[in-house]
Amino acid sequence: MQKIHHLTHQDAHSLARCGTLSLPHGEVLTPTFMPVGTNGTVKGMYHDDVSAIGYNLILGNTYHLYLRPGMAVMEKFGGLHKFSNWNHNILTDSGGFQVFSLAHFRKIKEEGVTFQSHIDGSKHHLTPEKVVDIQRIIGSDILMCLDVCTPPDLEYKKAREAWEITKRWAERSLKRRSELEDFKGNLFGIVQGNFYQDLRKESAETISSMDFPGIAIGGLSVGEEPQVFSDFLAYTTQFISLEKPRYVMGIGSPDYILDAVANGIDLFDCVLATRTARNGSVFTNEGMIQLKRAEHEFKDEPLVPGCTCTACTKYSKGYMRHLFKAGEMLGGMMATEHNLTFLYRMMEQVRQAINEDRFLDYKREFLSRYYGR
């Protein structure tokens, strides 16, 4: 197994840590937030603007890219980096979450999963091996195993069955990855186990012991209460190797991110920052605000003083509100840039706080200001 994550500092008072992730398209400082580019683009952003903020690792969605434009197109263009003109790193998920969200349109068997496309109803069959092959064609710098995602209220017997299939699929994925000698992508295993401690422990220890260069924690932030998320995250991480990068899938609010960092998580992603921006909600130091509200109509100050995004350096809250009320797409574009800039600067501050052994103080002060308590 190739070691890809090198720790540079461990916070003296928490599990928070800084490191460098060495990937085919450059090094990434951790902990880091990753913007989501579902269809090969971060919605409302040029790739150059995403990288200008500072991001050098974004997500692509295997399920969506497999269905559209399809692997024939992807292979013709030489992978997603060339197709989308993104010269930095790409992480792709396995598509498992999207497939298993199609509750009435998919069937899970030992061999793999059969599902109907949400686009045209066509039938498709994915196996662990095929999912690895798809991500090879995409050219992923980090790729994920196919896993069985489960809802938070699943009974124990079915949760165990799902985890055991995930384990066998992980073994098959590793075997297929080992056969692709000309491919530089790093395959991460995924911890599952639903919300049962014994299954979480078994899954974390098993996946962590396998020959994966990195570990993802799945099945969290799927509708459970925040305290349940926090408890199971803390419980799960204690059984995962400290030597491997840890990735929690699908978290993007500042409180969840800071909770993850406090538990030694290195990577996280979510559509929250971009999706809420398109609807007029933006991050500020005092919490998220909705720009469409009347209270912002006459405000001539920036969204966040000192923020370097286009909206904050050139326009007022009042103008941003006007754009959303008028239905102008520029509003969503600038709000997206702002939210991604806000999270990037926050992660810079997080890494600095860890390096200065004051992460817990930073977390407490940030959340106190953000939630006004």
Domain boundaries, the chain: 5-270, 277-371
Task: Label residue 175 by pLDDT band (50, 70, 90).
Answer: very high
Q: Which of 147, 259, 266, 269 is catalytic?
A: 269
CA distance 352 to 349: 5
CA distance 3 to 212: 9
CA distance 55 to 74: 23
Task: Label residue 373 by pLDDT band (50, 70, 90).
Answer: low
DSSP state of 185: P
Question: Please, where are the H alpha helices in 26-155?
Answer: 47-53, 62-67, 71-76, 80-84, 96-101, 128-138
**Cα separations (Å) of 151 from 37, 103, 166?**
24, 11, 15
Chain mean position to CA 134 = 19
Catalytic annotation present for 361: no
Task: Label residue 103 by pLDDT band (50, 70, 90).
Answer: low
Catalytic annotation present for 231: no
CA distance 260 to 251: 9
Contact 273, 35 (CB under 8 A): yes
The token duo for 78 is 């030489």
Half-sphere exposure of 216 (CA within 13 A, CB side): 26
Q: Which of 11, 49, 93, 266 is catalytic?
A: 93
Assigned CATH topology for domain 5-270 = TIM Barrel (3.20.20)
Contact 188, 247 (CB under 8 A): yes
- The DSSP H or E segment spanning 22 is strand 17-23
pLDDT number for residue 295: 98
Q: For all residues of the chain together, what is the average pLDDT?
A: 96
Q: Output phi, psi for 48, to 5 deg.
A: -60, -35
- Does this model's pTM top 0.85? My answer is yes
Contacts of 229 (CB under 8 A, 6+ apart): 220, 221, 256, 259
Kindly state the average pLDDT of the residues 270-283: 98
Q: What is the pLDDT of residues 47-101, one digit of tens each?
A: 999 999 999 999 999 999 999 999 999 999 999 999 999 999 999 998 777 877 7
Contact 16, 364 (CB under 8 A): no
- Partners of 190 in beta bridges: 216
Kindly state the average pLDDT of the residues 146-163: 95
